[in-house]
């Protein structure tokens, strides 16, 4: 099922590339000075469907980058390219150039296991393993061999749960199934699970869409704290959430990256009319 | 019902009124549908209970057998103490029967008298003497199996009010049996022979041990082969194989194989395992191989279905923390799919346990008295044994047929219970 084209398209092609719709050209500042990840001319196809069109975007260190846009605009598809989670999808093809610390992650020699250990992911629907809370968090470190013994593993589990703000609630019932927790707790458990493998970048695909406002606030605070050590890319449908947690915001529209900029500028003074329509509620 | 006439006048009355008018019909349809379902369940329960009751009524008698108490003198003149295996034990049986009825003299009369005890009585005495040679020279009271005609008469299967010509027991025999019963020398006891013996021409000596062991060996091999191969195939096809023309072709063929009549698998086994590979006939080894081939498609299809039922979010979760595809499958997908796979395997095994046709083709229908001791000993299996007994003319085999069906059903229930237990265990691990 590994059918993606892993051949890299040269970065140089960015300037030479012709746009058939000039008004869909990305405006703002998609590129940053000292990026963790760089994406150039990323196209994603699902069979015949062209889901992401020529996106070029950088992810900076210690920033929260919010991806917003109407449903089906390709933001989830794009975020899943960043740790190659699209690989198992039948008929999905990714072209372009995505680099993590300068190394092409779609190169044929790249092993997705360390890539995904480096670029963690939290999904839209909380998806804890049907195992105990402890096993949920310990699973990643265990398969990567991050702990020498059970004692060290216990330490990683506690530390990850603490960072996810869940430790106090579950410390007495680590042996209970993770699926028995409430929705918000499950999502924080999934975040703890992602943190346990000590990733450098965390991708969050609408992490709060299934949660109530209190659980959402919890996770937003958490994202804010995590920013000190990680780069975070978050897909969200809530513009309030994007403005609360992110430093930069990218607006996607029907597969095109329309505008990227500092969050406060995108929301107060958008450069592109499509962005303005969306954030003022005239579209979407 | 005045709203009905209104409705006719203005077809587009208020929506709620039109809804109300249709309600009666809707409720009636619902009630009718529930009734159909209930009737279907009741009907199937009725048939099932008729089946069970008829099998139990026919077969329960076979678990008890009529025995005759003989005073046997292990005569050292007849049985050589140095070689107890070769004595004429039949003579001992005849002598003790004569001892009970000393007034019987004529040749024909004596033959009728000797016919009361089973021919197996001599073997029983021989086994006793072999087990403890110090019996020789002593007198011992021994319960030996009665002949199947006596057994049927004592159990009331044969009608003793019929004229002598319509009976299988003569008037004289009837009188002897009555006297023995009055003296307490004929009794019905638990029929351990049925569980300890192999097949026999004599119904009172015929047992299912040979068939049960044959089934155990054949099914053991079937499980050993088809479960791992089936699961490996299902996992590969579902989790790893690319979706192309070849895998689709394989999928279609597996589905077709599941629908192939089982006798075709028997022909395949005959051609490949016996004729080409030269394996012996009538052995559980070949039976197990054939049944494994027959069971594989069922296990693969059930396995794929249960793998498909595992939510993709679990795979994403595992891949997302950096598990390799094999780790994802082994640690998360397979344990979740295991209960469904086990169900499929048990269904397949139950099917194999009840299968007769393919085994006929590889010679497992032979009359075999010995209980098999391994995979290459000739044997038969439970359903074939049932088939053989159902074909036998003696009345006593009728109840043994039903009893063998009961044993087969007991094994099926046991297997299903095991499946339920295993499933619980796998589900409890989370």
Q: Specify the pLDDT at position A5.
A: 42
Chain B neighbors of A196, CB-CB under 8 A: 321
Give the ipTM: 0.83
Of B243, B324, B332, the CB nearest to A129: B332
The pLDDT of residue B2 is above 80: no
Q: B327 and A143: CB-CB below 8 Å?
A: yes
Q: Does residue A179 form part of some domain?
A: no
Distance from CA of A279 to the nearest CA of B (A): 31
Q: Are residues B223 and B188 in the same domain?
A: no
Q: Are residues B218 and B296 in the same domain?
A: yes
Please, which residues have CB within 8 angstroms of residue A11's CB and are 6 or more apart in sequence?
A40, A41, A97
CATH number of the domain residue A25 falls in = 3.40.50.300
Q: How would you classify the pairing of strands A119-122 and A103-104?
A: unpaired
Q: Are residues B175 and B299 in the same domain?
A: no
Q: pLDDT of B67-85, one tens digit each? A: 999 999 888 888 887 888 8
Q: Does residue B304 form part of some domain?
A: yes
Q: Are residues B237 and B101 in the same domain?
A: no
Q: How would you classify the pairing of strands A248-253 and A35-46?
A: unpaired
Q: Specify the pLDDT at position A2.
A: 39
Last residue of a domain, one of B160, B194, B228: B194
Q: Specify the pLDDT at position B429.
A: 53
Q: What are phi and psi of A121, to 5 degrees?
A: -140, 140
d(C-alpha B208, C-alpha B193), whole Å: 9
Q: Specify the pLDDT at position B253.
A: 94
Split at pLDDT 50, 70, 90, the class of B428 is low
Q: Specify the pLDDT at position A8.
A: 42
Which 3 state secondary structure label does DSSP give A38?
A: strand
Q: A113 and B324: CB-CB below 8 Å?
A: yes
Q: List the beta bridge partners of residue A53.
A: A256
Q: Are residues B226 and B136 in the same domain?
A: no
Q: What is the DSSP string of B159-187?
A: -TTS-GGGSSS-HHHHHHHHHHHHTT-EE
Q: What is the DSSP string of B131-144?
A: H-GGGTTSEEEEEE
Q: Does residue B115 form part of some domain?
A: yes
Of B320, B332, B336, the CB nearest to A116: B320
| CA B106-B107-B110 angle, 5° bins | 80
Distance from CA of B322 to the nearest CA of A (A): 5
Question: Range of A48's domain?
Answer: 13-128+199-279
Q: Are residues B338 and B413 in the same domain?
A: yes
A135 to chain B: nearest residue by CA? B430
The pLDDT of residue B178 is above 80: yes
Q: Are residues B72 and B50 in the same domain?
A: no
Q: Does residue B354 form part of some domain?
A: yes
Distance from CA of B7 to the nearest CA of A (A): 44
Q: Does residue A248 form part of some domain?
A: yes
Q: Are residues B291 and B190 in the same domain?
A: no
B311 to chain A: nearest residue by CA? A127
Task: Look at phi and psi of residue B190 and say left if phi exceeds 0, alpha if psi is from -120 to 50, else beta.
Answer: beta
Q: What does the block give as tokens for B368?
A: 């075999």
Chain A neighbors of B430, CB-CB under 8 A: 130-131, 177, 179
Q: Does residue B202 form part of some domain?
A: no
Q: Does residue A215 form part of some domain?
A: yes
Q: What is the average pLDDT across B198-222?
A: 93
Percent with pLDDT over 70 in chain B: 97
Q: pLDDT of A51-83, one tens digit each? A: 999 899 999 999 999 999 988 888 899 999 999
Q: pLDDT of A164-176, one tens digit each? A: 888 999 999 999 9
Q: Are residues B177 and B311 in the same domain?
A: no
Q: Does residue A133 form part of some domain?
A: no
Q: What is the average pLDDT across B148-160?
A: 88
Of B243, B321, B336, the CB nearest to A116: B321
Task: Look at phi and psi of residue B366 and say left if phi exceeds 0, alpha if psi is from -120 to 50, else beta.
Answer: beta
Q: Does residue A159 form part of some domain?
A: no
Query: Which helix (H) or strand (E) covers residue A274, if one does?
Result: helix A273-279
Q: Are residues B23 and B116 in the same domain?
A: no
Report residues of chain A scoring pLDDT below 70. Answer: 1-23, 283-284
Chain A neighbors of B309, CB-CB under 8 A: none
Average pLDDT, chain B: 90
d(C-alpha A139, C-alpha A157), whole Å: 10
Chain A neighbors of B324, CB-CB under 8 A: 113
Count of domains forming chain A: 1
Q: Does residue A139 form part of some domain?
A: no
Percent with pLDDT over 90 in chain B: 56
- Return the beta strands (E) in chain A as ranges: 27-28, 35-46, 49-60, 64-68, 92-100, 103-104, 119-122, 201-205, 231-235, 248-253, 256-262
DSSP summary character for residue B205? G
Q: A123 and B327: CB-CB below 8 Å?
A: no
The pLDDT of residue B357 is above 80: yes
| CA A19-A21-A27 angle, 5° bins | 80
Question: Range of B47's domain?
Answer: 2-60
Q: pLDDT of B16-40, one tens digit each? A: 888 898 999 999 999 999 999 999 9
Q: A120 and B321: CB-CB below 8 Å?
A: yes
Q: Does residue A4 form part of some domain?
A: no
Last residue of a domain, one of B171, B194, B217: B194
Q: Are residues B90 and B70 in the same domain?
A: yes
CATH number of the domain residue B227 falls in = 1.10.3720.10
Chain A neighbors of B323, CB-CB under 8 A: 113, 139-140, 143
Distance from CA of A19 to the nearest CA of B (A): 34
Q: Which position has the higher pLDDT, A12 or B66? A: B66
Split at pLDDT 50, 70, 90, the class of B427 is confident
Q: Are residues B373 and B248 in the same domain?
A: yes
Count of domains forming chain B: 3
> Measured in Å, how far apart are chain B's first and last C-alpha atoms?
59
| CA B387-B57-B47 angle, 5° bins | 80
Q: What is the average pLDDT across B229-257?
A: 92
Last residue of a domain, one of B151, B169, B194: B194
Chain B neighbors of A121, CB-CB under 8 A: 316, 320
Measured CB to CB, residues of chain A less than 8 Å from chain B are 1, 3, 83, 85, 88, 90, 112-117, 120-123, 125, 127-131, 139-140, 143-144, 177, 179, 190, 193-194, 196-197
Q: Specify the pLDDT at position A10.
A: 43
The pLDDT of residue B351 is above 60: yes
Query: CB–CB of A234/A204 below 8 Å?
Result: yes
Q: Specify the pLDDT at position A155.
A: 94
Q: A143 and B313: CB-CB below 8 Å?
A: no
DSSP summary character for residue A132? B
């Amino acid at each position: 099922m590994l059918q993606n084209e892993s051949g890299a398209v040269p970065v140089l092609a960015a300037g030479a590339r012709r746009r058939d719709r000039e008004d869909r050209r990305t405006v703002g500042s998609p590129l940053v000075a000292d990026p963790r990840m760089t994406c150039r001319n990323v196209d994603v196809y699902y069979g015949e469907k062209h889901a992401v069109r020529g996106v070029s975007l950088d992810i900076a260190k210690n920033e929260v980058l919010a991806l917003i846009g109407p449903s089906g605009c390709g933001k989830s598809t794009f975020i899943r390219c960043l740790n190659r989670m699209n690989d198992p999808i039948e008929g999905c093809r990714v072209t372009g150039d995505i680099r993590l610390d300068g190394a092409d992650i779609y190169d044929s020699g790249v092993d997705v296991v360390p890539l995904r250990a480096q670029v963690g992911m939290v999904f839209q629907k909380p998806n804890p393993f049907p195992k105990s809370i402890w096993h949920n968090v310990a699973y990643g470190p265990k398969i990567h061999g991050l702990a020498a013994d059970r004692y060290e593993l216990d330490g990683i589990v506690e530390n990850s749960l603490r960072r996810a703000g869940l430790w106090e609630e579950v410390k007495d019932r680590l042996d209970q199934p993770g699926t028995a927790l409430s929705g918000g707790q499950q999502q924080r458990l999934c975040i703890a699970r992602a943190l346990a493998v000590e990733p450098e970048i965390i991708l969050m695909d609408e992490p709060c869409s299934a949660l109530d406002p209190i659980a959402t606030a919890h996770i937003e605070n958490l994202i804010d704290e995590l920013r000190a050590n990680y780069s975070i890319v978050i897909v969200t449908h809530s513009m309030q959430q994007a403005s609360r947690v992110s430093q930069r915001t990218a607006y996607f529209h029907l597969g095109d990256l329309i505008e990227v900029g500092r969050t406060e500028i995108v929301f107060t003074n958008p450069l592109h009319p499509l962005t303005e329509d969306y954030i003022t509620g005239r579209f979407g | 019902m005045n709203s009905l006439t209104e409705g006719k006048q203005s077809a587009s009355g208020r929506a709620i009124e039109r809804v109300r008018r249709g309600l009666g019909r809707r409720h009636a349809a619902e009630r009718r549908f529930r009734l159909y379902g209930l009737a279907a369940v009741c009907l199937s329960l009725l048939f099932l209970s008729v089946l069970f009751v008829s099998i139990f009524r026919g077969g329960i008698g076979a678990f008890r057998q009529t025995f005759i108490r003989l005073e046997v003198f292990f005569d050292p003149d007849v049985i050589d103490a140095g070689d107890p295996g070769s004595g004429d034990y039949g003579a001992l049986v005849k002598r003790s029967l004569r001892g009970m009825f000393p007034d019987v003299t004529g040749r024909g009369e004596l033959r009728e008298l000797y016919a009361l005890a089973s021919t197996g009585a001599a073997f029983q005495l021989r086994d006793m003497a072999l087990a403890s040679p110090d019996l020789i020279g002593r007198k011992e009271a021994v319960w030996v199996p009665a002949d199947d005609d006596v057994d049927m008469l004592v159990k009331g299967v044969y009608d003793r009010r019929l004229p002598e010509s319509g009976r299988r027991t003569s008037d004289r025999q009837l009188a002897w049996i009555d006297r023995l019963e009055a003296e307490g020398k004929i009794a019905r006891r638990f029929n351990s022979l049925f569980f300890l013996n192999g097949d026999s021409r004599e119904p009172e000596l015929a047992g299912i041990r040979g068939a049960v062991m044959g089934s155990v060996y054949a099914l053991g091999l079937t499980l050993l082969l088809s479960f791992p191969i089936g699961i490996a195939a299902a996992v590969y096809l579902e989790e790893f194989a690319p979706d192309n023309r070849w895998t689709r072709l394989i999928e279609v063929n597996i589905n077709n194989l599941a629908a192939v009549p089982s006798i075709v698998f028997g022909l395949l086994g005959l051609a490949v395992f016996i004729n080409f590979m030269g394996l012996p006939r009538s052995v559980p080894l070949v039976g197990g191989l054939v049944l494994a081939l027959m069971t594989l498609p069922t296990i693969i299809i059930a396995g794929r279905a249960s793998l498909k039922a595992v939510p993709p979010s679990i795979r994403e979760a595992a891949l997302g923390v950096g598990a390799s595809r094999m780790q994802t499958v082994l640690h998360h997908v397979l344990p979740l799919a295991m209960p469904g796979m086990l169900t499929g395997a048990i269904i397949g095994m139950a099917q194999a346990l009840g299968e007769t046709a393919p085994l006929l083709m590889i010679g497992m229908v032979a009359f075999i008295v010995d209980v098999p001791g391994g995979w290459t000993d000739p044997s038969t299996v439970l359903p074939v044994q049932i088939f053989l007994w159902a074909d036998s003319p003696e009345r006593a085999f009728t109840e043994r047929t039903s009893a063998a069906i009961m044993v087969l059903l007991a094994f099926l229930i046991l297997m299903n219970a095991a499946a339920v237990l295993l499933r619980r265990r796998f589900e409890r691990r989370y």
